[in-house]
Amino acid sequence: MERFDCETGLLGECTLFASQESALLLQSATGATLLASRELGSRIVRGDRRPELQRVLSLRGFALGNERTAAIKTVDPRFFMIDLTRACNNRCTYCFRKLHPTERIGEAMLDGIVAKIVAHCRACGLQRIALQAWGGEPLLAWDSVRRMQDALHDAGIEVRMLIETNGVCVTPTLAREMYARGILCSVSIDGPAFIHDRNRLSRDGGGSHAAAIRGFERLREAGYGRKVGAVCVVTQETLSHLPEVVAYFASELGLPRIKMNVVKESAQMSDKSLCLTQDDVARFWRALLGELEAVNRQGISFGESTVIAMLHNLTTHRPVSFCHSQGCQSGYRMLSFGMDGGVYPCDLTDCPELRLGDVRSSEGLTAMVSRQTSSHPFLCMSLPAACADCPWRTFCGGGCTSMRLHNGAGEPDWSDCVRNRTLYPLLIELILDKPRIVSSLTGMEVKIT
């Protein structure tokens, strides 16, 4: 694959990625793309201004200042996270939370948070939202999950409810109720037992893999089937055994996709040697894409959520991720609520200096956020200078804002940066040369003709 960086009067800064016959044109300022023949792509970057071609480019979002770009920083919260408990029945070595065996949200506070969300929905004319219960282990506060889902239902709000659980306390009865309520569920599984049990420890210090898989299977049997998700934290052990990890999820568990989160260093983690270096991060994503391609060549449709989101960025332009589609959307499209009633940009920012407000105030959520977009340290984070010439900057926006604040606001989140610089060129090559693999690993969400 060849790459041509260019500047045209019609499109401004753009990059053409070309194989022998096909090409993908990317406009850096908007993230707009166009799949075309190599000959047509070359004509465009040479300045072809035919009206019919300009119409096609405009429909694909190439016009500067278009709605897709403007919407990136619009205050429009539709996804909410509520911290229900700091209790957990596991003791994972890389956990970033300060756990407490009994601390959980009170009923009055939970009702106040739900009332705030309902008022926001009515003020903005929203009929459907997404809501994630988190902790700790959210299923240890199952009665709170039911309480808030029922309250939102009674208020006429359709809720896409999500839960990520360690699976340990999933009983057959609980699994059936979760399924009956339409709750989307993912289980934290780091791979085969010999990897999972090194870091996902039970309270007594033993491994939790058997209990996690027991909960996972109970969810499947309750009706979820292949729709039970899985979340895997990537550590040095994952990197050392990546083929076994991918085979375990794709073949042994038969999952259609997995979410893989590279471990983040935090003050709470007990073993920082688990973290990946920049070279490790690049090696992981490169190797993962190779494993995904190999699995899908075998006729097994299997993908990874971040890779799928990035493929959407390059093809359909569907913003399927709050983190990876249009830069960090926390605070703008997503809000998090603490057990103290505090409103925060995301679940990683529940500290006093990043608090946006309180659910007990009379101020609506949109107004609360909007008045702080130019002053709040999280909301007014600008694109790092190092990103100014990056072709992926619209998709990335400098990376995870929480990690940028942790590392120094003037710098990009290096983990996201390394991933994007490594993966995007490889994904474009996959789009141009192996479109059937793209369709397979996205579960036919992306179809290239």
Res. 68: pLDDT tops 60: no
Name which of 262, 324, 263, 252 is nearest 295 in CA terms.
Answer: 252
The confidence score (pLDDT) of residue 406 equals 82
The confidence score (pLDDT) of residue 72 equals 54
pLDDT, tens digit, for every residue of 202-255? 999 999 999 999 999 999 999 999 999 999 999 999 999 999 999 999 999 999
Res. 66 pLDDT band, cuts 50 70 90: very low
The confidence score (pLDDT) of residue 100 equals 86
Domain ranges of the chain: 2-70
Res. 268 pLDDT band, cuts 50 70 90: confident
pLDDT, tens digit, for every residue of 368-425? 999 999 999 999 988 888 898 899 999 999 999 988 888 876 789 999 999 999 999 9
pLDDT, tens digit, for every residue of 90-144? 999 998 888 888 899 999 999 999 999 999 999 999 999 999 999 999 999 999 9
Q: What is the mean pLDDT of the chain?
A: 93
Res. 71: pLDDT tops 90: no
Give me the phi and psi of 251, to 5 degrees please: -100, -50
Res. 348 pLDDT band, cuts 50 70 90: confident
The confidence score (pLDDT) of residue 325 equals 85
pLDDT, tens digit, for every residue of 318-337? 989 888 888 899 999 999 99
The confidence score (pLDDT) of residue 65 equals 44
Please give the distance of CA 407 from its chain centroid, rounded to a whole number. 20
Res. 64: pLDDT tops 70: no
Mean pLDDT in residue range 444-448: 94
Name which of 298, 285, 274, 404 is nearest 349 in CA terms.
Answer: 404
Give percent of the chain above pLDDT 90.
77
Res. 29: pLDDT tops 80: yes
pTM across the whole model: 0.94
Report the 3 state secondary structure along the chain: CEEEEEEECCCEEEEEEECCCEEEEEECCCCEEEEEEHHHHHHHHCCCCCHHHHHHHHHCCCCCCCHHHHHHHCCCCCEEEEECECCCCECCCCCCCCCCCCCECCHHHHHHHHHHHHHHHHHHCCCEEEEEEECCCHHHHHHHHHHHHHHHHHCCCEEEEEEEECCCCCCHHHHHHHHHCCCEEEEECCCCHHHHHHHCEECCCCECHHHHHHHHHHHHHHHHHHHCEEEEEECHHHHHCHHHHHHHHHHHCCCCEEEEEECCCCCCCCCHHHCCCHHHHHHHHHHHHHHHHHHHHCCCCCEEHHHHHHHHHHCCCCCCCCCCCCCCCECCCEEEECCCCEEECCCCCCCHHHCCEECCCCCCHHHHHHCCCCCCCCCCCCCCHHHCCCCCHHHHCCCCHHHHHHHCCCCCCHHHHHHHHHHHHHHHHHHHHCHHHHHHHCCCCCCCC
Mean pLDDT in residue range 182-207: 96
The confidence score (pLDDT) of residue 67 equals 40
pLDDT, tens digit, for every residue of 88-104? 999 999 988 888 888 99
Res. 283: pLDDT tops 70: yes
Give me the phi and psi of 342, to 5 degrees please: -70, 150
The confidence score (pLDDT) of residue 88 equals 95
The confidence score (pLDDT) of residue 297 equals 97
Rounded distance between C-alpha atoms, residue 97 and residue 188, angstroms: 16
The confidence score (pLDDT) of residue 126 equals 96
Most confident of 8-22, 23-37, 284-298: 284-298
The conformational region for residue 4 under phi > 0 = left, psi -120 to 50 = alpha, else beta, is beta
